[in-house]
A and B are shown apart, each in its own frame.
Chain A
Amino acid sequence: MALRIRYRMRHRNMSKAMGPCGGPLGRITRLRKLVTGVVRFERIESVFGWTDETRGYVERMIQEAIKHGDRHGPTMELADFWLLEKDLIHKLFKVLVPRYQNYTTAFTSQYMLPNKYPGGKISMAVLELKGNCYPPIKAKERDTSQLLTNILLDVARQDYVLQKLQINNSTRPSMESASCWHSQNNVIIPNYVDEITTHINTLSIDPKTSTEV
């Protein structure tokens, strides 16, 4: 099953995760601590690269728990490995699984924190589980679909799609498409234009926050 977040093709090395010469074991130890922290406190601040790595593991762990439940051996072992504090295993299966049972989105949110000038290469980020009890990081969910730019872009997108489909439809009987395989072989192309225009009109555009990573 796919994760509902963007993740890298390769894991980050996290070379100084548990001090110098920590190696892969240092990375895993740090990730376990962070995963434990997220599940316990539901909102943690850390280095962006580290939070991004933990996010994948947290999402996967919750996903597996939802899929298999708490009677499944391998899932229990997974939770036992990643959660260093064992009371959180109960929290995972009894609190988080019911909370996230019907979610269609990711279970975590991640936001970049500001750097005080001059800053450095490393940015901090805050990783939180959705549905937590704390004050929301983004107080207002701004609906940007009614901004003029977005309206114009939506219309432009519709026009472009229609244009493309009409070109495809119009080339069926004409001489211009002599090279077209379909016209040469008398293949019937179904008319998708009407279907897609009705689909576009029913589309709702979700407001996407630009600072959500």
Chain B
Amino acid sequence: MAASMVCRVRAAFLRFESDLLKILGLNRFNGPCLAPTGVNLQQQPHQRDSSPGVGFLESLKESVLWAVPRSRRSLERRHTRRFQHHKHFEHAKPKKNIIACLDCGHWHERNTLCGNCYEKVRQETQEMIAAMKEDEKVKFNHPDTELTFLYQDELKLKDQFVGTHIVEVKKKRPQWWSKNLLTSANKR
């Protein structure tokens, strides 16, 4: 199939070339000057087995080197390719790096965070960032001090954080996030 396609492409190429030459007026007749009558001396470029002089487009094509195997693949390399299962087998191989989270027990890969534990943290972070974005003083013009996020039930502690800009988060502090973090001794 490929060979016939190549032949068809080549034939089309030659036809195009001859037409182009006719248009450009570069069609030179390369046959003998003195010739018997009745013989068709015009070249027929669309014939498969004609091998006249090489046209300039075809010479271009001939100078291009098509990729081709240079040497026979050894048995070792063939076996390695076929039986090593290196392509598209990522999900066929068992994952041996799955561990249980020590805090919540959900499974995760050894090099990643626990998805369950992080999901809580991500949700809370998003809500705090939303509160930060709502605060007009922080939105486009970050203050020159650190930020402190205070939840609804902690707004009375504002006086402890004088040097910082307070962002009010309109909800209760989550149960799993310790209150002790707010004291000035272990603020961070």
Q: Interface of A with B (CB < 8 Å)?
A: 40-41, 43, 45, 85, 87-88, 90-91, 94-95, 99, 111-115, 118, 123, 126, 131, 133-137, 139-140, 142, 210-211, 213
Contact = CB atoms under 8 A, between A and B. Distances in A.
B51 interface: no
A113 B113 contact: yes
Contact of B111 (A88, A118, A136, A210): A210
A131 B146 CA distance: 10
B28 interface: no
Interface string B110-121: 111111011011
B111 A137 contact: no
A94 B142 CA distance: 11
22 contacts: A41-B129, A45-B122, A87-B142, A90-B142, A95-B142, A95-B145, A99-B146, A112-B111, A113-B112, A113-B115, A114-B112, A115-B112, A126-B118, A131-B188, A133-B146, A134-B124, A134-B125, A135-B120, A135-B124, A137-B113, A211-B111, A213-B111
Contacts of A43: 125
State which size class the interface on B falls in: 20 to 34
Contact of B121 (A87, A90, A95, A137): A137
Given A95-B145, A99-B146, A139-B103, A87 B140 contact: yes
A128 to B, nearest CB: 9
B147 interface: yes
Contacts of B111: 112, 210-211, 213
B184 interface: no
B142 A112 contact: no
Contacts of A142: 102
Contacts of B109: 114-115
Contacts of A45: 122
A210 B177 contact: no
A99 to B, nearest CB: 7
Contacts of A87: 140-142
Contacts of B113: 111-114, 126, 137, 211
A168 to B, nearest CB: 39
Contacts of A113: 112-113, 115, 118
Nearest to A89: B142
A114 B108 contact: yes
B132 to A, nearest CB: 8
A149 B111 CA distance: 20
B91 interface: yes
Contacts of A88: 142
Contacts of A90: 142, 144
B148 interface: yes
Contacts of A112: 111-113
A211 B109 CA distance: 9
Contact of A133 (B103, B110, B120, B147): B147
Contacts of B145: 94-95
B59 to A, nearest CB: 33
Contacts of B144: 90-91, 94-95
Contact of A211 (B112, B132, B149): B112
Contacts of A136: 121
